[in-house]
Amino acid sequence: MNATAVLDSHVSHLTCSECNTRYSILEVQGYALCCNKPLVVAYDYNNEFDKASLLSQPNTMWRYASMLPVLNSDNIVSLGEGMTEILSLKNLRKEHGLSSVLVKDEGSNPTGSFKARGLSMAISKAKELDIDHCVIPTAGNAGGAMSAYCAAAGIKATVVMPSHTPLSFKQECELYGAELLLVDGLINKCAVVASEIEMKKGAFNVSTLKEPYRLEGKKTMGYEIAEQLNWKLPDVILYPTGGGTGLIGIWKAFHEMISLGWLKPDVKLPRMVVVQAANCSPVVDFLKGVEKDIALYTESIGNGLAVPVAFGQDMIARVVAESGGTTVTVTDEAMINGVKEVAESEGILMAPEGAALWKGLLRLIDQGEVSRDEKVLMINTGGGYKYLEHLV
């Protein structure tokens, strides 16, 4: 472990998300072996952390460093991620008679997606724990982000990606100096190859929720939503769900802010909506009690949604249930139309995963699950530029 604590982090330990068994934060950890479930980071709320102190913090996700697990600030690997704009879909909102549709635009992060948050966090912890080689199975964006942060940290990166992913996702990994392996199949097949590399080469596996820290990076979206909206949360948040890290992270952040006294204990938390691709909707099916052979889930133009097995499925299900949320699926055709509609009407070129939220919202309004006068926030998880070859 590099040096001693110089950051005022409130981090305490890691716990199994199923049975609360404690794991040490000072050692390299993957997932909770007691229950074969994700590990989560726990904090100590005894020390003061007043939200007024945010005023003097950097304009990145690291402004919440007191509620993040890095102990020594020298280990922070940052490329300026976070504090993304919250925009309004002004024209589409009016056209459809909706009172408030906001978009947190994660496309402006380094490497063009919200994956920058999780990987800035995970690679900072990898640096702190003296890890020298990381491997990641990815649907695309996480691989580019890990390549960039590993380059900045001087850590070797191996990225395992489906061969059908658009070229620009592959090229960025190579430009950042990562080793890129292509696999015929979806991310679950890439995960098998990544585990082999972990075992054979001793690389640290940064697979979604199989290491504890990407979740902490993604949770900063929840802190930012509260801070940027002046501590008044929306009624509904829509999230394009693959592995579900952001959805789980945002919900974790809301509860941490209640424990910190930043949000009132009786605050009305948003209903959290899982949006998935019609081609690949395991979480929606699970929540509806539909059992389907995973071989039937196929690729999507929203490649981040082509995740046939979510390791954090139980945690996602708990967020939807606790928040009174719901689920919706969107076809690839609707995603492409959504990208075009939002680009032409608002000047925002969303990733298909983000555009799925707009189309999903319209369906939920038609079905009466969201009303026209509710405050809605969509997490546009990435920019559309890397997907252009499939969009025009």
Ligand X SMILES: Cc1ncc(COP(=O)(O)O)c(C=O)c1O
> In the complex, which residues of this chain contact ligand X (CB under 6 A)?
113, 115, 139-142, 208, 240-246, 304, 351, 353, 381-382
Among 18, 227, 235, 374, binds Zn ion (CB under 5 A): 18
Residue 351 contact partner, candidates Zn ion, ligand X, none, CB within 5 to 8 A by sort of partner? ligand X
Shortest distance (Å) from residue 390 CB to Zn ion: 41
The residue nearest ligand X at its CB is 304
Residue 282 contact partner, candidates Zn ion, ligand X, none, CB within 5 to 8 A by sort of partner? none
Residue 84 contact partner, candidates ligand X, Zn ion, none, CB within 5 to 8 A by sort of partner? none
Nearer to Zn ion, 37 or 170 (CB): 37
Residue 35 contact partner, candidates Zn ion, ligand X, none, CB within 5 to 8 A by sort of partner? Zn ion
Nearer to Zn ion, 21 or 99 (CB): 21
Shortest distance (Å) from residue 199 CB to Zn ion: 23
* Contacts for 329 with CB less than 8 Å, ≥ 6 apart: 275, 276, 277, 278, 281, 284, 360
Encoded tokens for 328: 């919706």
Number of residues that make up the chain: 392
Among 11, 14, 16, 263, binds Zn ion (CB under 5 A): 16
Nearer to Zn ion, 17 or 276 (CB): 17
Shortest distance (Å) from residue 360 CB to Zn ion: 33
Shortest distance (Å) from residue 224 CB to ligand X: 16
Region from 16-24, 62-70, 268-276, 319-327 binding Zn ion, contact rule CB under 5 A: 16-24
Instruction: Kindly report the backbone phi and psi dihedral angles of residue 369, in degrees, each rounded to the nearest multiple of 5, phi listed first.
Output: -85, -20
* Contacts for 139 with CB less than 8 Å, ≥ 6 apart: 161, 162, 165, 186, 187, 242, 303, 304, 305, 306, 307
Shortest distance (Å) from residue 40 CB to Zn ion: 11
Region from 20-28, 206-214, 314-322, 376-384 binding Zn ion, contact rule CB under 5 A: 20-28
Residues 26-45 that bind Zn ion (CB under 5 A): 32, 34-35
